[in-house]
């Protein structure tokens, strides 16, 4: 079975490479990439998922080498996340591999536009397995706390634009995480994390000062962290415990109420909506 899947993936990559040698059609290319990406997500054998990941990475890089590929929308590529910052400063590709032991490893790459259309691609390396407290640390892309990013929020900070990334991590068999990460550029290199969060003490929130806000909850309970552009706030599910014990992360589920992060005094400040309205008034 492994040899069959490897052959299939190899044929996909071969057909992709032939197509790539000409001026690529992004719809055709997206379909070919989707086939490989689906193997990463759906194959039942870890060895096959890892093999598909390697082939997909090579195929993606080959695609992005096409001049002005930053303009590609990859509409057919559904199995991985790819989002572009609203101001067009960068595009981020992220996906994950199920390691088969209840844990996941994230992959990430940032593409930057160039005036001559040549590829500028920055790989990110998931370092979360080697960090004791993932909420702390101002990191470069080689010390990335892996996440699948689904939204990018540009914000103004001291006369420059920085970016708030919303992401998720499947994490384990019992717990999922959602992450709010702030990214800025220093000498054209992305830097992640910093003192950008303010919130009151709560058993369901990270303890003490954090450089990124990480929200843990019961797997499958669909806790929300999403940006509300109409209010310019990040909506956050309030969590409650199914066993009346807020310290047991695997029991935390949405209560039905929400809190909101608002960008106030160069920080994301957390409060109930009624409190936010009072502050803004």
State how far the Cα of 124 lies from the Cα of 3, in Å rounded to an integer: 30
Which has more confidence, 62 or 28?
Answer: 62
State how far the Cα of 96 lies from the Cα of 108, in Å rounded to an integer: 9
- Confidence tier at 251 by pLDDT (50, 70, 90): very high
pLDDT, residue 25, reads 56
H/E run at residue 19: helix 2-20
User: Mean pLDDT score of the chain, rounded to an integer?
Assistant: 88
State how far the Cα of 179 lies from the Cα of 212, in Å rounded to an integer: 7
- Confidence tier at 26 by pLDDT (50, 70, 90): low
Dihedral sign of CA atoms 205, 207, 209, 213 in order: negative
The Cβ of residue 173 has, within 10 Å, a number of other Cβ atoms equal to 10
pLDDT, residue 13, reads 45
Does 4 score more than 50 pLDDT? no
Does 152 score more than 50 pLDDT? yes
pLDDT, residue 27, reads 57
Does 279 score more than 50 pLDDT? no
User: Residue range 218-246: average pLDDT?
Assistant: 94
pLDDT, residue 208, reads 83
Pairing of strands 81-84, 91-98: antiparallel
Q: Where along the chain do its domains lie?
A: 1-125, 135-281
How would DSSP label each residue in 89-152?
S-EEEEEEEE-SSS-EEEEEEEE---TT----EEEEEB-GGG-S-TT---B-GGGB---EEEEE
Cα–Cα distances in Å, from 29 out to 12, 64, 127, 273, 281? 11, 10, 30, 44, 51
Q: What global pTM score does this model have?
A: 0.87
User: Residue range 246-259: average pLDDT?
Assistant: 94
The pLDDT tens digits of the residues spanning 84-128 come to 999 999 999 999 999 999 899 999 999 999 999 999 999 999 999
pLDDT, residue 271, reads 84
The pLDDT tens digits of the residues spanning 174-218 come to 999 999 999 999 999 999 999 999 988 788 888 888 999 999 999
Which has more confidence, 151 or 200?
Answer: 151
User: Residue range 222-249: average pLDDT?
Assistant: 94
pLDDT, residue 28, reads 58
């Amino acid at each position: 079975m492994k040899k069959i899947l490897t052959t299939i993936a190899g044929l996909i990559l071969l057909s992709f490479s032939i197509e790539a040698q000409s001026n690529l059609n992004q719809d055709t290319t997206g379909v070919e990439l989707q086939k490989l990406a689906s193997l990463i997500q759906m194959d039942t054998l870890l060895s096959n998922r890892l093999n598909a990941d390697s082939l997909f990475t090579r195929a993606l890089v080959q695609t992005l080498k096409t001049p002005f590929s930053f303009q590609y929308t990859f509409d057919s590529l559904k199995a991985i996340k790819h989002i572009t910052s609203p101001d067009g400063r960068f595009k981020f590709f992220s996906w994950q591999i199920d390691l088969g032991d209840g844990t996941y490893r994230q992959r990430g790459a940032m593409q930057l536009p160039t005036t001559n259309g040549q590829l500028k691609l920055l790989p990110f390396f998931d370092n979360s397995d080697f960090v004791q407290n993932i909420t702390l640390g101002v990191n470069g892309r080689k010390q990335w706390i892996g996440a699948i990013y689904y939204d990018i929020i540009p914000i103004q900070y001291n006369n420059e634009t920085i970016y708030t990334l919303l992401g998720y991590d499947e994490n384990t068999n019992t717990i999922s995480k959602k992450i709010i990460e702030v990214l800025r550029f220093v000498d054209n290199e992305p830097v992640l994390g910093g003192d950008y969060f303010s919130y009151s003490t709560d058993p369901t929130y990270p303890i003490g000062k954090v450089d990124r806000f990480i929200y843990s909850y019961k797997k499958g309970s669909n806790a929300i962290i999403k940006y509300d552009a109409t209010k310019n706030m990040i909506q956050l599910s309030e969590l409650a415990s199914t066993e009346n014990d807020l310290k047991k992360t695997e029991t935390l589920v949405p209560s039905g109420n929400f809190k909101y992060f608002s960008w106030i005094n160069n920080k994301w400040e957390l409060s109930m909506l009624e409190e936010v309205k009072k502050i803004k008034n």
